[in-house]
Structure 1
Amino acid sequence: MAVAHLGSITVDCNDPAVLANFWAELLGGVIATSTDKFVSVKLPHLVLTAIRIPNYQPPSWPDESTPKQIHLDLAVADLDAAQAEAVRLGAKLCDYQPAPAKCRVLLDPAGHPFCLCLPPTP
């Protein structure tokens, strides 16, 4: 039996307001707490927090000279529509796409890679 559940994910960045607003819009959350150091986004079953880190360096994926730090896979029904909306909100499409028919790799405004993925087929 589980003794805990995942309650929060925290991502490093240099501008917590920009990053939190991006994730709030993309995932349909609301800003729950905001300070100069961190901004939390309330989602239905989780809180995502963006925290300011001095001298933050974004990941350099895919070369990994600066590790990606976190990687979220988001299930979507329509890759093209989800990609367009993520880009409109501030994401950038990565040049390297290992499986573009099933999954699209983007970077959030702080440079963290994340994937928009079709659900697996049975």
Structure 2
Amino acid sequence: MALRMKLSAITLDCPDPLALAAFYQQATGLEPHPKSDAEFAGLQGEDGLLIGFQRVADHRAPTWPAPEVPQQLHLCFDVTDLEGTEARLLELGAGKPADQPHADRRRVLTDPAGHPFCIVGS
């Protein structure tokens, strides 16, 4: 019998939780968790999913696609305007690696702490 579990949180290690939460808040429109602070910040979705950001003093950003520091986590976001969303995320401080597999329908970007994530055109 399969277990029935509901995903309730995803947490990313980073050097500055409040700054990374601000980036994702601007990118997603999710509301800040009221107990966010300099050690752990969170964004709360309407469905209850929390995206958390926890301070790690010796955080090493992933080196995707190079394997020296693994990507650790990979988020994907569906978007209706791939080009426009990419431009706005770059304005907010996202990075864009040179390696772009399937660039016609998805873009790999990195958040300000270096975590790769994708935006996928729908």
Superposed pair shares fold, TM > 0.5: yes
Match of 2:102 in 1: 99
The answer (yes or no) to whether the contact 1:37–1:51 under 8 Å persists in 2 is yes
Cα distance per residue 1:77-99 (max 9 Å; x no partner): 11100101111111111111111
TM-score when normalising by structure 2? 0.92
Partner letter of residue 99 of structure 2? Answer: Y
Answering whether residue 23 of structure 2 is matched by residue 22 of structure 1, we say: yes
Q: CA RMSD in A?
A: 1.2
Match of 1:49 in 2: 52
Moved more, 42-51 or 6-15: 42-51
Q: How many residues align?
A: 119
Match of 1:84 in 2: 87
Moved more, 46-55 or 1-10: 1-10
1: CA distance between counterparts of 2:28 and 2:37? 21
The answer (yes or no) to whether the contact 1:27–1:43 under 8 Å persists in 2 is no
TM-score when normalising by structure 1? 0.92
TM-superposed CA distance for 1:4, in Å, is 2.4
The answer (yes or no) to whether the contact 1:28–1:43 under 8 Å persists in 2 is no
Partner letter of residue 116 of structure 1? Answer: I
Match of 1:13 in 2: 14
- Which ranges in structure 2 are unaligned for 5 or more consecutive residues? none
Q: 1:93 aligns to what SS in structure 2?
A: coil
2: CA distance between counterparts of 1:36 and 1:80? 33
Partner letter of residue 25 of structure 1? Answer: Q
Instruction: Could you list the structure 1 runs, at least 4 aligned residues long, displaced by more than 6 angstroms after superposition.
Output: none
Matches within 5 A, 1:98-117: 98-117=101-120
2: CA distance between counterparts of 1:53 and 1:74? 25
TM-superposed CA distance for 1:36, in Å, is 2.0
